[in-house]
Structure 1
């Protein structure tokens, strides 16, 4: 656990470096590197949006995304097969790299289980992944029961494998592994259960992320023997992958970037000594992503990128995709229902795209709708969270949700699936508890808008908020921490106490002379209870007196209605 804490601290430090070094200044939204090769991008759909920032800044977030508030993400793909947490397809090629949650490398467990990566590489892990119990209809029915209003599936990860019937990436879930169109199945189930459907795309990074697959051991019996990231189509004769080119997966027919000392450099295309992707790689990414949108018509697409895919090298790919998505949505729906979420956006860029904060949250109400994406445990499934009971609790998730919604955000929660496509029993228990709370208190969450202030109460013990990767620090709220939302018409304010209050609740922001209150209060109701409660709007606070102790709950919601 000590090693785990050190890892989390390291990630927070990396995030701070990213914020200080790599986030654009306001107005600096053009990012074209002279080293970018000429591109040959397919035409975009006709419509009012053009592939430039000025045109895209006229984008307006669709109402559905402002209303849904809570979504579930299935961060699930072939890296779920080993059940060794995240970044397995990179870590298995790094003998001297330690990855959490294990205080060891992924390289050693890979050899113990499968063999040496020169003989059994990640391409072979893909062949083992069968998704034997995958039932999207059952899963999405369960997620909806637990309060989800939208759902997102992993279209591909940094390992460069498409979980759909890809016309441009032969290494996909229809041709191998499960031999199923997973995104097609997810999409159909989402539509059946009336959930908005999203896809996440992470494959832009494979060029640098996979570079360790080109390596070799520096010592031992396999010293100097190249890992399978160097293999080509000719090496597959007589093997299960005959006819497929490993370079379509690994994309490693290029010179290595100079060895990196900082994780964030894997993400950036404008750092010194980064090997620039060739035009074929860039065009292929564009075509794969455009097909994903055109064939499956998701409502939302999330890019695991800073600003746009290949930002720092070129924004042309991302701008074309954004304009195409928006114009296509208008043709399909009659209005633009599309949402395109990315990270590290400055204020100007947030006018054109949806702003996502990975594993973090805002410090105050933001003027544009935004999203937190986070996870119950690790992004890809790791049994250590089940064994050690270290998942986020339902209380933590509910407190995050109330805080995020009060600041104009949505919460996208990843529930990592086991290799077979099922959640474990602990995840199911946590999700059911969230669902029970939302059944009672959903009125204070769904289809609400931020009020004049996000909340009040003592500051929780936390080192820093407002940046990515800060949600791993445990934050302890009490019932004196209150978060506010309001109805669309502004006649109702919801006050959510982050805990179970005792006999008296004082809400300073709703006092008669408070700067936020311009109307007198008509009624106060404890949501989920028919019991009448006594209250008084004093000059300095709304004081609610509870006649008897209420049932213990993760958070307690009051509905305050104003006189017109």
Structure 2
């Protein structure tokens, strides 16, 4: 199918479907129930940028910025940019040890309910078989449809398959290579891989450096091809789609995708950042950050096991599993879901650090998952002195949770209270459940500690619900299951 035919197909699906390409229609979107219940997913940044394994997944941009550490590193290790450019990493991206079933087993053990590989990052290299570009893993590098293999493996394990597209930023991503004698001087020399390499805009200017119609149509078709060929249940977008030029094409994509979901009988959703979508037309995502308070709408945060990079680098600075578990508990208590990123090596192996973190999270969820999966928020998300900083890029530092910080979820007739840092003395005081509390006037039937055989002692007065244990010890959050009448 040529470009004109594909665009006509997109318009025809919008014309005949329930959803139209306007915000009024798109706000009829309903968040899928499975998505709200899943709570925990895996994000995967893996691509050609995993070969140099330096700096971050922005290496293809930064290696062309003269004077940057990535530029100097490239000169030292690979030589002159005209002789060895980013394209020359493609044959080195072999994925020779990649086993989709092995990945799926690990993600299942981690307790994830959905998995979201990056199908195309800013570098413009597609991790799947495509009819739009020759620069993809089926024709180059591994010579395999990596995304297709992942979809089959994940769905076999009962994991919901999703995809992510970061294509929008490719408009300017390779542009710095035009400023000196590099292999990007003539972008079209390497087809659509380096094209268009336009000047990088001020990222705060929503109207600056608008992409051409040709580029926007190409972007739309690439996104719709992913929908048609891989049927993802969630489609994630990175930033820059919130700029003015993308708005008409975003609406077209959303209408097309939502109508395809109706056709498949599979409830689907879109993730977005900033205000790319009208509120209520998709699911908002907070990059590397959280909300300070409970939200009445479902939301997602995406963050990574490493603080410094989304992809694998040789010097990743990792978070602890306990820190990530606390974030998961906090996010779920506020009506959110955690999408946690890992970065595999270029050969397809998952680093031990990533693997161990996932397995530790899975071990905790195996015991405490009933307080996470299929739960909803309570009247208050929690209590305690720690204030979570709100907004994106706020997870650089470990949050200093205390033994007074407690988070709540609810399911059926059970209220779950997760103590973020369990006290050595074994006494927990929950003020939100005190007699006369504005949050609770009911009857407590029974209290148990998930994962421990000890039956705690408890009493309730006008100050707090006090729970006492003598043998409960844990570096991760401890969950009390409180049965109500």
Partner of 2:3: none
2:112 aligned with 1:124: no
Which of 386, 390, 398 is the equivalent residue of 1:474?
A: 398
Within 5 A, what are the aligned runs for 1:131-530?
A: 131-216=95-180, 226-231=181-186, 245-252=189-196, 256=199, 264-265=203-204, 268-271=205-208, 274=209, 276-306=210-240, 309=241, 311-333=243-265, 337-345=267-275, 349-377=278-306, 378-385=309-316, 390-459=317-386, 465-487=389-411, 489=412, 491-501=413-423, 502-530=425-453
5+ unaligned residues in a row in structure 2: which ranges?
1-5
Query: Once superposed, which parts of structure 1, at least 4 consecutive aligned residues long, lie more than 3 Å away?
Result: 39-42
Change (3 A) 1:417 1:253: closer
Q: Supply the distance in 2 between the matched residues of 1:414 and 1:89 (Cα, whole angstroms).
A: 20
Please state whether the residue corresponding to 2:245 is helix, strand or coil. Answer: coil
1:455–1:448 distance in 2 versus 1, CA, 3 Å: same
Could you tell me how far apart the structure 1 residues matched to 2:140 and 2:164 are?
A: 20
SS where residue 283 of structure 1 aligns? helix
2:11 aligned partner: 43
Whether the 8 Å CA contact 1:157–1:203 is kept in 2: the answer is yes
Q: 1:552 deviation in Å?
A: 2.2
Q: Distance in 2 between matches of 1:384 and 1:310?
A: 32
Task: Tell me how far apart the structure 1 counterparts of residues 356 and 254 of structure 2 sit (CA, whole Å).
Answer: 38
CA distance in 2, matches of 1:505, 1:232: 63
Secondary structure class of the residue paired with 1:413: strand
What does the per-residue CA deviation read over 1:342-361, in whole Å, with 9 as the maximum and x for residues that have no partner?
10138x82311111000000
The answer to whether the Cα contact below 8 Å between 1:44 and 1:323 also exists between their aligned partners in 2 is no
CA distance in 1, matches of 2:46, 2:464: 48
The 2-side partners of 1:446 and 1:362 are apart by 20
Unaligned 5+ segments in structure 1 are: 1-38, 98-104, 217-225, 234-244
Residues 513, 253 of structure 1: alpha-carbon distance in 2 compared, 3 angstrom cutoff:
closer
* Structure 2 residue aligned with 1:90: 61
Question: How much has 1:232 moved relative to structure 2?
Answer: 5.9
How far, CA to CA, are the matches of 2:191 and 2:206 in structure 1? Answer: 21
Deviation at 1:117? 1.2
Q: 1:253 to 1:500 in 2, by over 3 A?
A: closer
- Residue-by-residue CA offset, 1:411-435 (whole Å, 9 max, x unaligned): 0000111111112122222221111
Per-residue CA deviation, residues 269-328 of structure 1 (Å, 9 max, x unaligned), is 413xx2x3222211111111101011100111100025xx26322411111111111111
After TM superposition, the score normalised by the length of structure 1 is 0.81
Report how far residue 44 of structure 1 moved. Answer: 5.2
Q: Secondary structure at the match of 1:229?
A: coil
What is the CA distance between 1:253 and its match in structure 2?
Answer: 6.7
Mapped contact 2:119–2:147 kept (Cα < 8 A)? yes
Kept in 2, the 8 Å contact 1:164–1:181? The answer is yes
Q: How many residues align?
A: 473
- C-alpha displacement at 1:500, in angstroms? 2.0
Quick check: 1:69 aligned with 2:39? yes
Distance 1:545 1:350 in 2: 44
Q: Which segment drifts farther, 394-403 or 122-131?
A: 122-131
Q: Secondary structure at the match of 1:106?
A: helix
- Is the 8 Å Cα contact of residues 114 and 120 (structure 1) preserved in structure 2? yes
* Farther off after superposition, 353-362 or 415-424: 415-424
Q: Provide Cα deviations, 1:138-173, integer angstroms capped at 9, x if missing partner.
A: 011111111111101010000011111111122111
Offset, 1:40: 5.6
CA contact (8 A) 2:187 2:197 kept: no
